[in-house]
Structure 1
Amino acid sequence: MFVRITAIRRLFYVSCLFIGICLVINQIRQYRTEPNAIVYKPGPDIDLYVDANGSFIHHMKYEILQFVEIPLQDRFNEFYNYVDQQTELKDYFTFVPQTAYHITLTTLKDEISENEEHIKTLIREQQTLDKDETFTLCLGKQVYNLEQKEIRIELEFQNNFLEQNITKYQKRWTNTFPDLIVEHRKTFYVTIAYQYKTIPSKEMFDQFNEIIQNWQDFTFEVYVEPIEICSYADLLLYKPIVPDDPTTVKPIPEEVDEEKNEKDER
């Protein structure tokens, strides 16, 4: 009787081990792709920044950021022209105009505008930042994150700018206005496009990924403008907390052109 129970236990343990091995093998087969390959995830239709029609969503937000210098450097501009010609991508992604390209250093709380003291605090910080030279060079390293419903270019600060400036500033911001901070970014990127419609199949996802992969593992220079604290109603309209002209905002040239065309038609 004892021998029979022992045999059953052994059979049970062997069965569990066999099932475990099968599960591991299945996982390996599922994810055994090239390094940095991404997995198809359809996801919801609506993004945080664009609606289901591909239009930018209006909401008041605040960030500490650096705009990419325009005109773009030659290699970056080649990439822009490349993706701009991919008409299939535009059926699923809304592309950000060049003049809205930026890297976010720190995200701030949305309700800042409701408190005058918060605004004054940020104005003082901007005035302090303006005393430093924060125009700098970055390197565009990689196009990635299609699986996160965005097309991004990863940027890397040069000449120890991260350690000597960004890290120092973020610590100061934490000490000066901790209640206003949502997140300090530790990795930096420029968002090129936002997905607004579900990609219907893995085959199409892989096709888009192949388009992006054509520009993987390349580097090019990206100059970023001095650090600014900005509010924005959407990703097309930014307003510095201390503008040169209080009545102006940072518009997108395409919008200016459209307004001019409408006036000409009248």
Structure 2
Amino acid sequence: MRRFAIGAATSGALALLALTVPAAHADTVVGDTNVSNVVVNGGKNVAVGTTNKVTFKVTFTASDPAGIASGQTYLYHGTWSDPDAFWTQDSPSETICTSGTTVTCTSTYSIWPEYDLHYNAFAGTWHFGAYAKAKDGDSAKRTNLGTFHVQRYSKLTVNASPEPVTKGRTITVAGKLTRASWDDRQYHGYTGQPVKLQFRKAGSSTYSTVKTVNTDGSGNVKTTVTASGDGTWRYYFAGTSTTPAVAATGDYVDVK
């Protein structure tokens, strides 16, 4: 996979250099080739931590009466004319297309945060496009067929105490919401975020939301509830465009 992470201080000339053929030019259609229906990661966002490799697939539909010879996909952050990060394949052979006049082409991406995501500013909305070349030499390239999100991986903890507790007494539920920083390869508290405190009664398989609490300046969250019965407490974060949803592993409290 070819990757470019272009910092804000990098010249526009380097950004243009990143968009090598067939990516360098605007949308083009030669003949009756068509590309459509691009799907990134099965329609899900792509969450990346500080060190882990993340692999996902990008698929699209290509068609031409003469048949499709090859395909290629593009993922980029910013604008097509001046992206600050750009991912594609080293060669069209890295995208596998089925046979026929209307085919499905699949590209596989492997993302390493230390090489492909240098700045937290890369989190959020990314764009995708696709290219296909037909067996008769026709081709089609679409540079902005939709968007998806690349997100900073999140973690959430919970601790309910005391354990066990007498019925009617106070339970303190504490936790912390953190997310990956691509600036320094560490996890830091995600501040000022609404986190739901949820409870699952003993013998039940579903959680119910009890209240919503905001994280503090360090990503910590803490609240109190009245012990009414045995069950499991957890925190749940619904996520943002830059950070995926996450649920803490529940903490069971025995109520006497």
Query: Larger % of helix: which?
Result: 1
TM bucket (normalised to shorter chain) is: under 0.3
> TM-score w.r.t. structure 1 length?
0.22
> TM-score w.r.t. structure 2 length?
0.23
Query: Larger % of strand: which?
Result: 2
